[in-house]
Amino acid sequence: MDSLVEELLMGVVETLTGRNADFAATGAYSDLRLMPRLKTIVIGCVDPRVDPDEVLGIAPGEVATLRNVGGRVTPGLLHELEMLRTVVQAGGGDIGPGWEFIVLHHTDCGITRLEGQPAMLSQFFGTDQQHLAEQAVSDPRAAVARDVAALRDNPRVPGVRVSGLVYDVATGLTETVVQP
């Protein structure tokens, strides 16, 4: 029996905690700090094909990542950024000049399958259904431009360098749609 099938027959959590034991044995965690070493926060989608650590080659401890459906800048995400800023301030720093936000959207995003669910989407975006089209859920390039604009010069996180990327699930490549 191949080892992957054997692992899956054990159950997923048993498999993953076993992998965790392997990770712990490497000691790779021991020098990591709370603050992301690159002073960067990536905002991305939950889609398992677009794990920012994988597709952008991010090493442990380098960036903080917030993921939601679509990698969208929603009221909830802005609230989380504000919470993170407060965490950084509690450590004597601040999220502002010298920090970067990277918004990472992608092709074939599952959020496009929610286009027939305007009530669900309007709640997610904190908007009424008449203005839902402005969120551009079917167009990752337009959506990333919108979300970058929402973060730039946002009074909750002022002075941060913001860029917008779209990852193509067919090629594995990102395109910088909005330059920092």
Q: Which residues bind Zn ion (CB under 5 A)?
A: 45, 47, 109
In the bound state with Zn ion, the residue whose beta carbon lies nearer, of 104 and 178, is 104
CB of 50 to Zn ion, least distance (A): 6
Size of the chain, expressed as the number of residues it contains? 180
Is 109:81 a contact under the CB 8 Å cutoff? no
Residue 42 C-beta: closest distance to Zn ion, Å: 14
Question: Closer to Zn ion at the Cβ: 109 or 160?
Answer: 109
Nearer to Zn ion (CB atom), residue 99 or residue 125: 125
Parallel, antiparallel or unpaired: strands 161-167 and 100-106: parallel
Q: Using an 8 Å Cβ cutoff, are 38 and 57 in contact? A: no
Q: Which is nearer to Zn ion, 109 or 143 (CB)?
A: 109
Partnered with residue 42 across adjacent β-strands are: 65, 102
Closest CB 56 distance from Zn ion, rounded Å = 15
Per-residue CA distances from 20 to 3, 13, 16, 17, 73 (Å): 17, 10, 6, 5, 32
In whole angstroms, the minimum distance from the beta carbon of 71 to Zn ion comes to 6
